[in-house]
Amino acid sequence: MTSVTIGAGVDHFQEKGWLLTRTLEGENAVAELQAWVNEVAAWPDADGEWMHHRELTDDGPKLCRSENIVPFHDGLRELLTAGTMLSTASALLGEPAVLYKEKVNYKLAGGAGYAPHQDAPAYPFIDSHVSCMVAVDDSTLANGCLEVVEARHHQVLPMDESGCVRPDLVAAFEWVAVEVPAGSTLWFHSRTPHRSGPNTSGVPRRALYPTYNARSEGDLRGEYYREKVARFAAGDGRADGKVQVSLIDDFQGRSL
Ligand SMILES: O=C(O)CCC(=O)C(=O)O
């Protein structure tokens, strides 16, 4: 897979809190990425290794997220832990980066959206981190692309009881929908407010979401997943009929 470099995008990222880059060039590279994600989706539900989560849609249960993937997939490990992805994360953090966590959000037809939130409160152990969405399929308004608030990445905002941005702030913000073509990447700061709607189209909106932290804070990926599995096992989850996929309650999907 070939990739392009970030260039002068660092200034845009610092000012706005987000940046769109092209990660994969050519139809073959996108088709290969889609094939890799199909492979992950076909993995069986496993004990304590990768994690699959499912949501209830009007068409029945559907996969909504897979996590802890790179130890088990060579192609995705190479894409997310080396090359352009790692160098872009390092450029945006201003120091060498290391992968903290990774997931696929599938948002298949009829899949649910995400309430307005910042990622920072969901990530224990690290202060300096950056996330992105690598579009596996074209991400459009109809299938639930991300919406961001520009230039509001300087502080953690007041939250409601679910860990999402307080409704009065949500209403006051100007939300910008960012459509992302397959093979491109939307980078966003860990404090950039973002949300997304449900997939009301007939086509999937799959995306990879790697998060990177400054390597100077340590390689904490293993610790993150140990903590997450422990919190889920301890029932530190939702009792409101929604699926718990995160350490905050941003996902709006119904549980099976
Ligand atoms: O995939 C989406 O639509 C939003 C994902 C998101 O914000 C998250 O997983 O925290």
DSSP string over 140-189: -TTTT-EEE-TT--SSPPPB-TTSSBPHHHHHHSPPEEE-B-TTEEEEEE
> How far is Cα 256 from Cα 54, in angstroms, rounded to an integer?
7
Predicted local distance difference test score (pLDDT) of residue 56: 95
Query: What is the residue type of 91?
Result: A
Predicted local distance difference test score (pLDDT) of residue 236: 53
> What one-character DSSP code corresponds to residue 123?
-
Residue with tokens 């352009």: 84
Residue nearest atom 9 in ligand 1 by C-alpha distance: 105
Going from the Cα of 114 to the center of ligand 1, the distance in angstroms, rounded, reads: 6
Predicted local distance difference test score (pLDDT) of residue 7: 66
Ligand 1 pocket, residue 188 CB under 6 Å: no
Going from the Cα of 27 to the center of ligand 1, the distance in angstroms, rounded, reads: 25
Ligand 1 pocket, residue 16 CB under 6 Å: no
Residue 113 pLDDT > 80, yes or no? Answer: yes
> How far is Cα 218 from Cα 22, in angstroms, rounded to an integer?
28
The tokens describing 235, both together, are 């029932």
> How far is Cα 85 from Cα 99, in angstroms, rounded to an integer?
10
CB 212 within 8 A of CB 93: yes
> What one-character DSSP code corresponds to residue 70?
G
Looking from the CA of residue 194, the nearest atom of ligand 1 is 7
CB 221 within 8 A of CB 159: no
Ligand 1 pocket, residue 101 CB under 6 Å: no
Ligand 1 pocket, residue 194 CB under 6 Å: yes
Residue 213 pLDDT > 70, yes or no? Answer: yes
CATH architecture of 9-233: Sandwich (2.60)
Predicted local distance difference test score (pLDDT) of residue 2: 35
Rounded-to-10 torsion of CA 82, 83, 89, 92: 150
Rounded-to-10 torsion of CA 228, 229, 235, 237: 40
Ligand 1 pocket, residue 253 CB under 6 Å: no
Residue nearest atom 10 in ligand 1 by C-alpha distance: 119
Predicted local distance difference test score (pLDDT) of residue 121: 86
Q: What is the pLDDT of residues 150-183, one digit of tens each?
A: 999 999 999 998 899 999 999 999 999 999 999 9
Tell how far CA 50 is from the center of its chain. 16
E strand residue ranges, the chain: 18-22, 51-57, 60-67, 97-105, 114-117, 129-135, 146-148, 176-178, 184-189, 194-196, 207-214
Ordered by start, the domain boundaries in the chain are: 9-233
